Structure 1
Amino acid sequence: AAPSGPPVQRPPNPPRTTTPDWPAAPSAARPATARPMPAVDGAPRAPRTGRRRAIVISVVVVLVALLAWPIGLAIWANGKLNHIDALSGAADTPGTTYLLTGSDSRSDGAVPQDGTLGARTDTIMVLQVPSSGPVALISLPRDTYVDVPGHGPAKLNAAFSWGGAPLLVKTVEQLTGLTIDRYAEVGFAGLENLVDAVGGVSLCSELTVNDPDSGMVWTPGCHEVGGVDALAFARMRKADPAGDIGRAERQQELIGAITSKVSTPSLLVKPGTQMSLIRAGTGSLAVNTGFDIVDMGRMAIAFRAAKGPGGITGTPPISNMDYRPGHNLGSTVRLDPGKTPAFFEAIKNGTLPAGPVGGVPTA
């Protein structure tokens, strides 16, 4: 039989110490503290959601800024371009053809032998981007003997003096058989500011020069130069055994050095430098009507391609560097009449092999 007696007194269960799934009601002894609403699994989500929202907003703001800045910069730059009516309206030829000219307003006391006065262009380059094949950058010597429409025999740069960009375009089209699609004219004095805006450029020459006319003082090799010395480098002609041909090569080198400098990725994070470059570059630049800042970028890309290992640089075939045809023209540069038409036909069609072409005739 079970023993009888008073019931056994068991100790009460200890108080539960687990945290409830919801915050306790505030009491007078302890102030209430706000807590985020927990998720179903007990992990608070409000702070995490807030952080994500802040990150998304920040990313959107940065993307908008990255998109808006170049668009705004392009609009501002387009407004600073000087436009002129330069194109002839001739029927298109394959590819895209740029005519780049550089004017040098230096007053060195020289008297024009061909009797022309007024504006002069000392740099004339044809940049041809064919539908397929290598890009070509061809310098036309300023003293090239040509027939200027409406004026007759003359030096090439006389066309610019007589009729500005439109007559020069027509003369180059007649000479090359290429229709000019884009025209860009830069004052070489303005390149001084552009070189300074990019912080100087590296130029190379094996000449020893101390030329008072251009101001070029040079020892053989490559040198980092500022605007003043870069301009002298592009101007010098008399102390160069290759004359205008050598000067054209140095001018191509200078423009190529500037193009490489402004294409560096570091400029993307330097808005102040970008604006300085645009001010310097557009201040002495004139382009054909319809030419915009996007076309300028395409031209720079084409220029770099021509100067690269897969491009073509040089001059048309030259038969005589001291051709004297009369007409009170003095010494002129005569292009080879037997080779020049086929040369420009190959340039137009992109069938000419990459590499240097033309130059001073060797025989």
Structure 2
Amino acid sequence: MLFYFDGKLHRVDALTSYSGRIGDTPGTNWLIVGTDSRAGLSDQQKKNLATGDADGARTDTIMMAHLPPSGKPMLISIPRDMYVPIPGMGSHKINSAFNNGGPQLLVQTVEEFTGVHIDHYAEIGFGGFDNLVDAVGGVEMCLDQPLRDPKAGLDLKAGCQELNGAQALGLVRTRAFPNADLERVVNQRKFLSALMAKATSPSVLLNPFRLFPFVSGAVDAVTVDSGDHLWSLAWLAFKLRSDPITTTAPADGDQYTDDGDSLIPGETTKRFFDYIARGKAVPADLLTSDAGAVS
């Protein structure tokens, strides 16, 4: 059964070779990408999930999961507005790499920007995300404030509550905060960690009526590199299930560029990723404190 589902995984050649590619760095590193692809959604589902009808796929969610040789795993958000050199394009916001060159250009951009070798790739779109959450029976999240965002189809009260798939999709999409994307990425990290904890809990693993729909949902919702497998995703889930260090890659300020308001990397950014590239613990002064709407 495992090999059957593994054979149905969507795959893409994300980790291609290129001249001067960063060699192996300590630990294991995943690039996790969230896109707004509507592939697989019916017109009614698009309406129910408030996704709109845009064609193609763009990414506003870029995370690096760093599993060091020792110590706690890290889940690192790379803000979409980080202004970085993109091979063949000059400097732009980092999400331009995926939008113009797909996963291959995004992986190359991240590797050259951070100095960190990417070992695995996972991409998830709107299509199937809600089913993934519903398959595990929902995910409990505790909100510090009520959230209402008609553009994301979101209307949640403050306090602890179990989110279904549509509500979870709204939570990870909404930018209705004073700091917009910088708060959204915090909520995304917290939700991903909570989803991994639920998916690897006995209530799912020991219940075939939840386990098999979840695995099937993962197969439908997730695209991985051609060298990755279902057991690679399972290993990642177990690593991220128990309180990983979560943070946003630091910038050294913001600036208005040809791409609009942008985050400018600098010496702080370089120091942060240098620790990751050497497999060393990142000092506390380089980690961001959690904000967002999720406790």
Match of 1:260 among 181, 191, 197: 197
Specify the SS of the correspondent of 1:153.
strand
Specify the SS of the correspondent of 1:86.
coil
Aligned residue for 1:195?
A: 133
Aligned residue for 1:271?
A: 208
Distance 1:324 1:92 in 2: 35
* Deviation of the 1:211 alpha carbon: 1.4
Structure 2 counterparts to residues 328-347 of structure 1, below 5 A: 329-335=259-265, 337-347=266-276
Match of 1:175 among 113, 138, 141: 113
* Deviation of the 1:355 alpha carbon: 9.6
Specify the SS of the correspondent of 2:152.
coil
* Deviation of the 1:99 alpha carbon: 0.3
Higher radius of gyration, 1 or 2: 1
Distance 1:359 1:270 in 2: 36
Distance 2:77 2:148 in 1: 25
* Deviation of the 1:259 alpha carbon: 1.0
Distance 1:108 1:268 in 2: 35
Distance 2:134 2:24 in 1: 38
Distance 2:63 2:205 in 1: 29
Distance 2:201 2:162 in 1: 17
Specify the SS of the correspondent of 2:182.
helix
1:93 matches 2:38: no
* Deviation of the 1:332 alpha carbon: 1.6
CA contact (8 A) 2:272 2:286 kept: no
Distance 2:212 2:264 in 1: 43
* Deviation of the 1:207 alpha carbon: 2.6
Distance 2:153 2:97 in 1: 28
* Deviation of the 1:92 alpha carbon: 1.1
Aligned residue for 1:82?
A: 10
Aligned residue for 1:318?
A: 251
1:299 matches 2:232: no
Q: 1:354 to 1:182 in 2, by over 3 A?
A: farther
Q: What residue identity is the alignment partner of 1:235?
A: R
Aligned residue for 2:99?
A: 161
Distance 1:269 1:158 in 2: 42
* Deviation of the 1:344 alpha carbon: 0.8
Q: 1:108 to 1:140 in 2, by over 3 A?
A: farther
CA contact (8 A) 2:200 2:238 kept: no
Equivalences, count: 273
Specify the SS of the correspondent of 1:273.
helix
Specify the SS of the correspondent of 2:155.
strand
Q: 1:288 to 1:219 in 2, by over 3 A?
A: same
CA contact (8 A) 1:148 1:171 kept: yes
Specify the SS of the correspondent of 2:252.
strand
1:245 matches 2:171: no
* Deviation of the 1:358 alpha carbon: 2.7
Aligned residue for 1:147?
A: 85
**What residue ranges of structure 1 are gaps of 5+ in the alignment?**
1-72, 110-116
CA contact (8 A) 1:313 1:355 kept: no
CA contact (8 A) 2:137 2:210 kept: no
Measured against aligned partners, the alpha-carbon deviations of 1:210-264 in whole angstroms (never above 9, x if no partner) come to: 2111122123222112111111111100x21221111111111221221111111
Distance 1:318 1:208 in 2: 29
**What residue ranges of structure 2 are gaps of 5+ in the alignment?**
38-50
Q: Percent identity?
A: 40
Q: What residue identity is the alignment partner of 2:8?
A: K
* Deviation of the 1:108 alpha carbon: 7.7
* Deviation of the 1:269 alpha carbon: 3.5
Distance 2:94 2:290 in 1: 18
Aligned residue for 2:288?
A: 358
Specify the SS of the correspondent of 1:331.
strand
Q: What residue identity is the alignment partner of 1:77?
A: F
Match of 1:120 among 42, 58, 70: 58
Measured against aligned partners, the alpha-carbon deviations of 1:282-341 in whole angstroms (never above 9, x if no partner) come to: 102110011011211111122224xx1xx4211122233x5212x3x1112223x01111
Q: What residue identity is the alignment partner of 1:172?
A: V
* Deviation of the 1:157 alpha carbon: 0.8
Q: What residue identity is the alignment partner of 2:3?
A: I
Match of 1:107 among 52, 55, 70: 52
Distance 1:354 1:277 in 2: 36
Distance 2:80 2:127 in 1: 18
Deviates more, 1:90-99 or 1:268-277: 268-277
Distance 2:135 2:214 in 1: 6
CA contact (8 A) 1:135 1:350 kept: no
TM-score (norm 1): 0.70
